[in-house]
Structure 1
Amino acid sequence: MLTLIKKFYRKLHSFFVALLVKISPYLATKYLYKRAMGKSIDLTNPKNFNEKIHWLKLYWKHPLVSKCGDKFEMRNYVNDMGLSNILNNIHSVYDDASNIEWNTLPDKFVLKVTSGSGFNIVCKDKNKINRRKVEKKLNKWIKTNFALKVGEINYQSMKPRIICEEFMETEEGNLPIDYKIFCFNGNPKYILVVTEREIGVKRFMFDNEWNSIDFLKNRTSDGMITPKKPDSLQEMIFYAEKLSNPFPFVRVDFYDYNGRTILGEMTFTPDAGLATRYKESFLRELGDMIDLPEKIT
Structure 2
Amino acid sequence: MLSFLKLIRRKLYMAIARPIAKRLPYSDRGDRWFYWHHFFTQHDRWPGKRMLFNDVLYRIKSGPEIVSPLRLKTTDKELAKEFIAERAGAKYNVPTIAVLRNKEDIDKFDFPEDCVIKPTHGCGGVTILQGGAQPDRAALAEQLTSNYYYAARERNYRDLTGKLIVEPLLFQGHDVHDFKVFCWKGKARCILYVNDRNVAFYRQLYDTNWSLLPIELSPYGIDKPNVDRPLVLQEMLEVAEKLSAPFDFVRIDFYIDGKTLLVGEITHCHWGANDRFLSLDDEKALSRLVFDET
Q: TM-score range by the shorter chain?
A: 0.7 to 0.9
Unaligned runs of 5+ in 1: 1-11, 293-297
Aligned to 1:48: 52
1:165-189 C-alpha deviation (Å, 9 max, x unpaired): 111136xx42321111101111101
Aligned to 1:228: 228
Unaligned runs of 5+ in 2: 1-17
Aligned to 1:66: 72
Aligned to 1:254: 254
CA 196–272 in structure 1, closer or farther in 2 if over 3 Å, else same: same
- Give the SS at the match of 2:112: coil
CA 200–102 in structure 1, closer or farther in 2 if over 3 Å, else same: farther
Residues 17-96 of structure 1 aligned to structure 2 (within 5 Å): 19-21=25-27, 23-42=29-48, 45-59=49-63, 60=65, 61-96=67-102
- What is the percent sequence identity of the aligned residues? 22
2: CA distance, partners of 1:21 / 1:81: 34
- Give the SS at the match of 2:166: strand
Report if the CA contact (8 A) 1:17-1:149 is conserved: no
CA 140–272 in structure 1, closer or farther in 2 if over 3 Å, else same: farther
1: CA distance, partners of 2:51 / 2:273: 13
RMSD: 2.7
CA 175–15 in structure 1, closer or farther in 2 if over 3 Å, else same: farther
Aligned to 2:205: 205
1:49-84 C-alpha deviation (Å, 9 max, x unpaired): 111112112222421111112111101111222511
What TM-score comes out, normalization by structure 1 length?
A: 0.82
Q: Give the counterpart of 2:139 among 125, 137, 140.
A: 137
2: CA distance, partners of 1:194 / 1:62: 28
Instruction: Tell me which amino acid in the other structure corresponds to 2:157.
Output: Y
Report if the CA contact (8 A) 2:181-2:252 is conserved: yes
Name the structure, 1 or 2, with higher relative contact order (CA <8 Å, separation 6+): 1
Instruction: Tell me which amino acid in the other structure corresponds to 2:139.
Output: K
2: CA distance, partners of 1:154 / 1:135: 27
1: CA distance, partners of 2:190 / 2:140: 33
Report if the CA contact (8 A) 1:215-1:279 is conserved: no
Instruction: Tell me which amino acid in the other structure corresponds to 1:227.
Output: V
CA 137–286 in structure 1, closer or farther in 2 if over 3 Å, else same: farther
Shift of 1:103: 6.4
CA 198–29 in structure 1, closer or farther in 2 if over 3 Å, else same: same
Report if the CA contact (8 A) 1:113-1:162 is conserved: yes
- Give the SS at the match of 1:24: helix
85-94 vs 142-151, which deviates more? 142-151
Instruction: Tell me which amino acid in the other structure corresponds to 1:149.
Output: A
- Give the SS at the match of 1:122: strand
Residues 158-173 of structure 1 aligned to structure 2 (within 5 Å): 158-169=160-171, 173=173
Report if the CA contact (8 A) 1:46-1:55 is conserved: no
CA 15–140 in structure 1, closer or farther in 2 if over 3 Å, else same: farther
Shift of 1:221: 5.0
Instruction: Tell me which amino acid in the other structure corresponds to 2:130.
Output: K
1: CA distance, partners of 2:76 / 2:54: 21
CA 103–126 in structure 1, closer or farther in 2 if over 3 Å, else same: farther
Report if the CA contact (8 A) 2:144-2:164 is conserved: yes
2: CA distance, partners of 1:18 / 1:135: 34
2: CA distance, partners of 1:89 / 1:113: 15
CA 287–101 in structure 1, closer or farther in 2 if over 3 Å, else same: same
- Give the SS at the match of 2:200: coil
2: CA distance, partners of 1:201 / 1:102: 36
Aligned to 1:263: 263
1: CA distance, partners of 2:195 / 2:185: 27
Q: Give the counterpart of 2:115 among 95, 109, 116.
A: 109
Aligned to 1:16: 22
Aligned to 1:276: 276
1:60-112 C-alpha deviation (Å, 9 max, x unpaired): 24211111121111011112225111001111101235522676332111000
Shift of 1:22: 5.8
What TM-score comes out, normalization by structure 2 length?
A: 0.83
